[in-house]
Amino acid sequence: MELFIKTDYFNPELTLTGGQAFRWKRIDDDRYAGITGNRAVEVKRETDGIRIIEAGDNDEDCDRRLAGWENYFDINTNYITIINLFSEDAVLCKACSSLYGLRLLKQEPFETLISFIISQNNNIPRITGIIERLCRVYGEQLGDELYAFPAAETLVQADLSAIGAGYRAGYITDAARRVKDGGIDLDALYTLSADEARCELMKIKGVGEKVADCVLLFAYGKHAAFPKDVHVKRALSEFYPDGLPECVRGHEGLAQQFLFEYIRSRR
């Protein structure tokens, strides 16, 4: 199935490989291959939009699939309007100008939860490697060297010692068990406030505020969530010792991602 989303605001490198998701790979400047859920896909940036090519046969309604991708790429959010607000601040104005096309993704919650548990005290290449091994060993095979993300029911029974997750293996198992048993209802978090949803996620062993906020931002689209990793803490210390500017209110999550990329680019 081939789908097209009309937008002139999309940078695939910043959006797909900048630490929000870990299952996308660059083919060339405008094309990226990835796996979302149980679908292998290719995304291509075109002048006026995003072309999405889903591998294999798919008898699902085209409009439904298109709506799913529009949600994934957060198409209904007006990024230009938000960037205009951010431009009131000198640092964010520079960041938005140099990082034009950065979007926030809305991913599947369980995959996002496990991915950011794995992300703790880790870098993007290593996170990607652990997730690839997790999917290869425990995920459903979709094609040649292509594997879906494993379900909670599978991970509860998994021996994770061989995938290189280290101490995070216990956290993954606890998260999978709570989701499988209904102790954590990931679907219910959509209807909760960011504070309420954060408290629910932090019931999981090893999930602190930073991991919880990553899940809220990159799976649930709760744009007020503001994950603080080492890069963002550095940006706050250097540029905003007295707190974030008023112009980011309600869009702290997007500001965070711009600051994350901006401070990394200055290294």
Distance CA 86, CA 167 (A): 39
Q: Band the pLDDT of 127: cuts 50, 70, 90.
A: very high
Q: Is 243 exposed, middle or buried (0-12, 13-18, 19+ CB in 10 A)?
A: exposed
Same fold, 78-99+221-267 and 109-218: no
41 Cβ contact partners less than 8 Å away, ≥ 6 residues apart:
33, 34, 35, 52, 53, 54, 55
Cα dihedral across residues 63, 65, 71, 73: positive or negative: negative
Q: Which residues are catalytic?
A: 210
The CATH number of the domain covering residues in 2-76: 3.30.310.40
Answer left, alpha or beta for residue 13, where phi above 0 means left and psi between -120 and 50 means alpha.
Answer: alpha
* Residue of 70, 95, 36 whose CA lies nearest to 257: 95
**Average pLDDT score over residue span 70-88:** 97
The residue ranges of every structural domain in the chain are 2-76, 78-99+221-267, 109-218
Tell which CATH classification among 3.40.50, 1.10.1670, 1.10.510, 1.10.10 matches the domain 78-99+221-267. 1.10.1670
Report how far residue 99's alpha carbon sits from residue 261's, in angstroms, rounded to the nearest whole number. Answer: 8
Q: Which residue has the higher pLDDT, 144 or 34?
A: 34
Distance (Å, rounded) from C-alpha 49 to C-alpha 134? 33
In the prediction, which pLDDT does 57 show?
A: 65
**Using one digit for the tens of pLDDT, what is the confidence trace for 53-66?**
998 766 678 888 89
Distance CA 175, CA 186 (A): 11
Of residues 63 and 69, more confidently modeled: 69
The closest of 49, 48, 42 to 2, measured between CA atoms, is: 42
pLDDT one-digit tens code per residue, 167-213:
999 999 999 999 999 999 999 999 999 999 999 999 999 999 999 99
Its pTM stands at 0.95
CA dist 194 and 166 (Å) reads: 30
pLDDT at 96: 96
Q: How many CA atoms lie within 13 A of 264 on its CB side?
A: 16
Using an 8 Å Cβ cutoff, are 215 and 120 in contact? no
pLDDT of residue 62: 87
Instruction: Give the pLDDT of residue 190.
Output: 97
Fold type of domain 109-218: Endonuclease III; domain 1 (1.10.340)
